[in-house]
Amino acid sequence: MPFSDLPLDQLRRYRPAVPEPADFDRFWRATLDRAAATPVLCDVRPEPTGLRLVDTWDVTFAGFDGEPVRAWYTRPAGVDGPLPAVVEYAGYGRGRGLPGERLTWPVAGYAHLLMDNRGQGGWYARGDTPDPHGGPGGPTIATRGILNPDDYYYRRLITDAVRAVDAVRALPGVDATRVVAAGNSQGGGLALAVAGLVDDLAAVLVTAPFACHILRAVQLTDASPYGEIARYLAVDREVEAAVRHTLAHVDGVAFARRATAPAHFGIGLRDDVCPPSTGFAAYNQYGAASGRPVPPLREMHTYPYNGHEGGEAVHVRRQRSWLEAVLRRADAPVRT
């Protein structure tokens, strides 16, 4: 895919006025308060994997509206002390897959919770969590319930993502003060949402984020998931105002503005799935509405010749080094 978005010098300055609904904060506060009324851990049981260097548990936690959400919890074998934890969110169409498919963070010495995506799975990795909801809208994940913010699929998935942080903090062997949200594509969008809704994360790792500056993305690309929204509007031509209103409640730029944790971003400049300008719209406004006197630390890595795959292993290596440095700083004694 040739480069088709803004040049890099413009991307670095791109700060669009992405509209926010007046009830944005109230909407999410009420949604999360309702979810928090249910105790977060439902079931934790050892999962035999045959892998000698890690231990894995099959976790079920209470997500949106108290509904059960599955996850894999994995940590280095034989390590009893509290570890920093990475909560990872999977990409569009993916479920949590099989235990042992994602071992980067456990073998790097972290506790790792990989959240299942409700109602997804089967494209790249299986899912084990149903989404027992309907609502007016289209037939695909990105358009499910899209005519009303209360019914929209991503209200439920974002709530699950926040509750996954609560769940990992309740698990044994986790340092609750050092929890990291991480993800790529849809997972990157979820990590951003969590960064805007949870104010005491240790760090955020965001790669090729989906659901940022959504209306621009729908105009720039026909690739799914954004193309699914455009195709829905091509058939149901009189609902655009309702769709815009719903999408404004889940736009990653709004979450990024409220974020307070240090953040590490990665974007491929030839990405035709999540156009680069949409990710930069979130990055350039990250922490702008956090209310903190000093903006949060943030760092961006770009890959000029890569698309949605971004920097892959090179980028993961950069994430690990950056995260280790951030956590070391957080552990350093305060000098007076």
Which residues form the catalytic set? 185, 271, 308
Q: What six digits make up the tokens of 73?
A: 């919890």
Q: What six digits make up the tokens of 298?
A: 């943030």
Strand ranges (E), the chain:
41-46, 54-62, 68-76, 83-89, 111-115, 174-184, 203-207, 263-268, 298-303
Q: What six digits make up the tokens of 225?
A: 């998931």
Specify the DSSP element, H or E, that contains 191. helix 186-197
Q: Which of 152, 154, 153, 178 shows the shortest CA–CA distance to 165?
A: 178
CB within 8 A of 197, min separation 6: which ones?
28, 32, 158, 162, 255, 258
- Residue 80 has a CB neighbour count (10 Å cut-off) of 8
Q: Packing angle between helix 24-36 and helix 153-170, nearest 10 degrees? A: 50
